[in-house]
Amino acid sequence: MTAPIRIGVIGLGWVGTARHIPTLSALPGFELVGIADRKSERVNAARIKGVRRATGTKLAEIGWIDEVEAISVATAPFAHRDLVCEALERGLHVITEKPFAMNVAEGQEMVASADRAQRMLGVVHNFQFARSMHRLRADLASGRLGKICGLRAIQLGNPARRLPSWYQDLPLGLFYDESPHLLYLLGSVAGPLELAKSVVAKSRHGSTTPAQVDAWFTAKGADYPITMSCNFESSLSEWYFTVHGEKAVAIVDVFRDIYLRLPNDGAHGTREVITSSLATTAQHWWQHLASGVPHLTGKLRYGNDHVFNRFAAGIRGEREIAAPVSAAAALRTLSLQHMIINRREEIYA
């Protein structure tokens, strides 16, 4: 048995308090030593026993920083580069939220800092390890879906839902904050992606966040379409990741952590339609019970536990296990984001 990794959490917004802290507190491989935020009211409001508290914008201002081996950065993305590089220079391992950095140059600087320090640098690309994605990978490995005919990631976003206060200051606003999830899900099945085309429909309301972003990708050895479609002016908030196979279609309901496998419906006659309806309904409600209870009790981790365990493996030198959450993976996703932004065709301008 190895001793738990002593870690602190920087940033006490929603993702820090609802995802990082509960996950780290529940994992035996970590000991949560301290928490910190630039706002003292957040530090004082955090209801966590047995941890040290600090307020500051730099690690040097945090009293407990020399007591930890690693930090988890859950701040707004504007602060990632400075905090990550400062931590690496202090000899700490770091895992940070997405978006990884504000631009590719910052991301490259962070990766170079980790290489120089010989420390693990990871990113929270968590949905690829959710229960629903494990079931998808099992079906792909067993051949239940047949030959892949296409991959599609779909996002509908209602602007009225809970959103961070700073998202409109990002490149293309909410797209920059949320698209990493869809990009790494596509890449987790197809392999490293290359952008073929991106189209952006500007907001109807003058928002930095566009009305819609669509992107097409290729991947080595993939002879099927790979697409992403994000609508940010919807009346509904839903995220889906679909794999179209010759034998069946797989649908991952990301927000509910539900996995559906619907068989090839052939001629799409009445019998096939009813069969698909029954299969969809039965699978959905059965898994809704399985995911709903953890969701209600705040224990649905959406793969965050796997991310932090892989981060710990990277600290121990098990780089292959850590690869999907490594700085290299983060930089690939970040680069794709900027390709989509920089090479976009704008419509409804």
pLDDT of residue 208: 96
Q: Which residue did the predictor score with more confidence, 65 or 287?
A: 65
Whether residue 199 is predicted with pLDDT greater than 70 in this model: the reply is yes
Assign 189 to helix, strand or coil. Answer: helix
pLDDT of residue 34: 97
Whether residue 80 is predicted with pLDDT greater than 90 in this model: the reply is yes
Assess contact for 41 and 67: CB atoms under 8 A. no
Whether residue 56 is predicted with pLDDT greater than 80 in this model: the reply is yes
Whether residue 262 is predicted with pLDDT greater than 70 in this model: the reply is yes
Average pLDDT over residues 7-17: 96
Tell me the pLDDT tens digit for each residue of 119-151: 999 999 999 999 999 999 999 999 999 999 999
5-126 CATH: 3.40.50.720
Tell me the pLDDT tens digit for each residue of 221-247: 999 999 999 999 999 999 999 999 999
Phi, psi of 153 (to 5 degrees): -110, 130
pLDDT of residue 324: 97
| Confidence (pTM) | 0.94
- Of the pLDDT bands very low, low, confident and very high (cuts 50, 70, 90), residue 49 is confident
| % residues pLDDT > 70 (the chain) | 98
Q: For 15-37, b where at least 16 C-beta lie within 10 A, e where not — what string?
A: bbbebbbbbbeebebbbbbbbbb
pLDDT of residue 141: 97
Tell me the pLDDT tens digit for each residue of 276-316: 998 889 888 887 777 776 777 677 789 999 999 999 999 99
- Of the pLDDT bands very low, low, confident and very high (cuts 50, 70, 90), residue 349 is low
pLDDT of residue 21: 96
Each domain of the chain, given as residue ranges in start order, spans 5-126, 130-301
pLDDT of residue 348: 84
Tell me the pLDDT tens digit for each residue of 167-180: 999 999 999 999 99
Whether residue 95 is predicted with pLDDT greater than 70 in this model: the reply is yes
- Of the pLDDT bands very low, low, confident and very high (cuts 50, 70, 90), residue 116 is very high
130-301 CATH: 3.30.360.10
Average pLDDT over residues 174-189: 98
Strands (E) located in the chain? 5-10, 30-37, 52-55, 70-73, 93-96, 121-123, 148-156, 193-201, 212-219, 226-231, 238-245, 248-253, 258-263, 345-347
Q: What is the mean pLDDT of the chain?
A: 95
- Of the pLDDT bands very low, low, confident and very high (cuts 50, 70, 90), residue 154 is very high
pLDDT of residue 20: 97
Q: Which residue has the tokens 């010989």?
A: 118
pLDDT of residue 300: 76
Domains 5-126 and 130-301 share a fold: no
pLDDT of residue 184: 98
pLDDT of residue 345: 97
pLDDT of residue 290: 75
